[in-house]
Amino acid sequence: MSTIDKIRELKKQRDAVILAHYYVDDEVQAIADYVGDSFYLSKVATTVEAETILFCGVSFMGESAKILNPEKTVIMPDMQADCPMAHMAESEKIEKMRREYEDLAVVCYINSTAELKTYADVCVTSSNAVKIVRALPNRHIYFIPDKNLGRYAASQVPEKHFIFNEGFCHVHTGILAEHVRTAKEAHPDAEILVHPECTPDVTALADYIGSTSGIIDFATASAAKEFIICTETGVLYELKQKNPQKRFYSAGHRQFCPDMKRISLEKVADALESMSNTIELEEETRLLALRPLERMLALGN
């Protein structure tokens, strides 16, 4: 039996649904029931009926699915697949900011551990950060953990005072402005599409800035025929599926998330067979992390 047939069989036996982020390998995206950006996947996680959610992504994604669905079994193909940025904020610093600013909202990118989310007032993803920050009643915003998404949101919501944290994504900050300029020289008609986890000198070169889904939708709707893609290259699978007649170029050599790429078809089959890589959270942590996620879902829709 092929691995794909085995996965199909096990999915039925386990009453499982497969969610996958755009950054996992093409063959994993191809077998998933739902593929999308972080916001879409967190919404899907609240509506699926299956008993088991298999999350092809990094651990904060599985944790968010579990926080939103405590009664479901959430499993991961690889428990080591973890986003380094998800850990890049400190509770002591958050508490210090709360003492310093009376009217403070702690805005936490969904790329964060469940533990960090317990300190947050609201979560955001790259597709809804601007909308949600703008809707908050607070004037002071402590944005954790990603300084680059925080800076991008601040540039769009100038009426708020932002305090930034030092977190970053090593994949997106590895895309350098000089790489983008070189790619543009080679493809002068190409539009430059940039994820907001990139540094400000790269977002400054963009024709469009948005989440993975935003980038895919923009390229699909655009009249342009060529695009320079400044995010993880996993998005190229969906971009090419939707736009076989258009051309896509990456800007650098390091647009590769080693954690997302840990997910393989074999690991998907193994996880469904053993049902051992389950996400478990203390109920107190889950309940505290649930509030900012639910607030995001309410404000983001």
Q: Does 63 bind ligand SF4 (CB under 6 A)?
A: no
Query: Which segment (200-208, 217-225, 237-245, 253-261) binds ligand SF4 by CB under 6 A?
Result: 253-261
- Of 18, 28, 29, 37, which lies in the binding site for ligand 13P, with binding defined by CB under 6 A? 37
179 interacts with, out of ligand 13P, ligand SF4, none, CB within 5 to 8 A per kind = none
Contact 74, 66 (CB under 8 A): yes
Of 94, 132, 135, 99, nearest to 112 by C-alpha is 94
- Backbone φ and ψ for 252, nearest 5 degrees, come out as -130, -165
Strands 34-36 and 16-21: parallel
- Of 108, 116, 230, 260, which lies in the binding site for ligand SF4, with binding defined by CB under 6 A? 260
Cβ within 8 Å of residue 85, ≥6 positions away: 109, 111, 112, 145, 146, 167, 168, 169, 170
Instruction: Write down the least CB distance from residue 295 to ligand SF4, Å.
Output: 22
- Of 41, 123, 133, 169, which lies in the binding site for ligand SF4, with binding defined by CB under 6 A? 169
Q: What six digits make up the tokens of 264?
A: 């393989």
Q: Does 211 bind ligand 13P (CB under 6 A)?
A: yes
84 interacts with, out of ligand 13P, ligand SF4, none, CB within 5 to 8 A per kind = ligand SF4
Each residue 170-189 as x (binds ligand SF4 by CB under 6 A) or -, in order, gives xxx-----------------
3-state helix vs strand vs coil in the chain, percent to 5:
45, 20, 35
Q: Does 120 bind ligand SF4 (CB under 6 A)?
A: no
Residues 12-31 binding ligand 13P (CB under 6 A) are none
Instruction: Write down the least CB distance from residue 227 to ligand 13P, Å.
Output: 16
Contact 35, 107 (CB under 8 A): no
Instruction: Write down the least CB distance from residue 195 to ligand SF4, Å.
Output: 9
Of 35, 142, 133, nearest to 99 by C-alpha is 142
| Local structure of residue 190 (DSSP, 8 states) | P
Q: Does 94 bind ligand 13P (CB under 6 A)?
A: no
> Which residues sit at the interface with ligand SF4, rule CB under 6 A?
23, 58, 83-85, 111, 169-172, 197, 232, 257, 259-260
